[in-house]
Chain A
Amino acid sequence: GAGVSQSPRYKVAKRGQDVALRCDPISGHVSLFWYQQALGQGPEFLTYFQNEAQLDKSGLPSDRFFAERPEGSVSTLKIQRTQQEDSAVYLCASSSAFVAGELFFGEGSRLTVL
């Protein structure tokens, strides 16, 4: 695709609900990143994929967070039993390079947990 596409753009969940956020990276990009951006903060790293392999998940805040990229393209970030502190914008970014180069960001999924 022309850019990184994320859906849904907005999600309101009741506390305790499970949510799934989707990222469709730029076609052919091998690297995919998930970031969490709270209001007034910079993006915070969550996890990183190289093709279908999840090489780094050190930023996932708890075991309620799970990400996958089974075919090395589309990725899903799943949050189980959502809590109010999970409210944030979840940004997905992709890159054509393995390590260097710029990251191209999607417009994010804004999650509000009531």
Chain B
Amino acid sequence: EDKVVQSPLSLVVHEGDTVTLNCSYEVTNFRSLLWYKQEKKAPTFLFMLTSSGIEKKSGRLSSILDKKELSSILNITATQTGDSAIYLCAVRDGGSQGNLIFGKGTKLSVKP
């Protein structure tokens, strides 16, 4: 059965800290891995990683895909209180009609 596991489930840091969120997956036919940020509303898209694009960066956020280890990390540097959210990792299986399989998320709390 396809699955996505995120760790840690929750994390509390102080402003300015750097954090690393982990995502590991088992899917039959990997197509892509996506990261979303979810505050108290709709998940918003951060990155999509594929075999042809294993590293993405946007401002203080960056993500790397390790296809050999079947995992990905999301890094956030110089954290701010506005980074507090649930970070969701999702994997698309090539045979799944485009459906995303989500992990349970990592709840990040950034204290002032």
Contacts and interface: CB of A to CB of B under 8 A. Distances in A.
A31 interface: yes
Given A42-B88, A45-B99, A107 B32 contact: no
Interface residues of A, number: 29
B104 to A, nearest CB: 5
Interface residues of B, number: 26
A56 B42 contact: no
B102 A44 contact: yes
A41 to B, nearest CB: 6
Nearest to B101: A45
B8 interface: no
A43 B97 contact: no
A100 B49 CA distance: 11
Q: Is the interface of B mostly helix, strand, loop or mixed?
A: strand
Nearest to B48: A102
Interface string B64-104: 00000000000000000000000010101010111111111
Nearest to B40: A107
A50 interface: yes
A106 B101 CA distance: 17
Interface of B: 4, 6, 31-32, 34, 36, 41-45, 48, 88, 90, 92, 94, 96-105
Given A102-B45, A108-B41, 12 more contacts: A33-B98, A33-B99, A40-B104, A41-B104, A41-B105, A42-B102, A102-B34, A103-B34, A105-B36, A107-B41, A107-B42, A108-B42
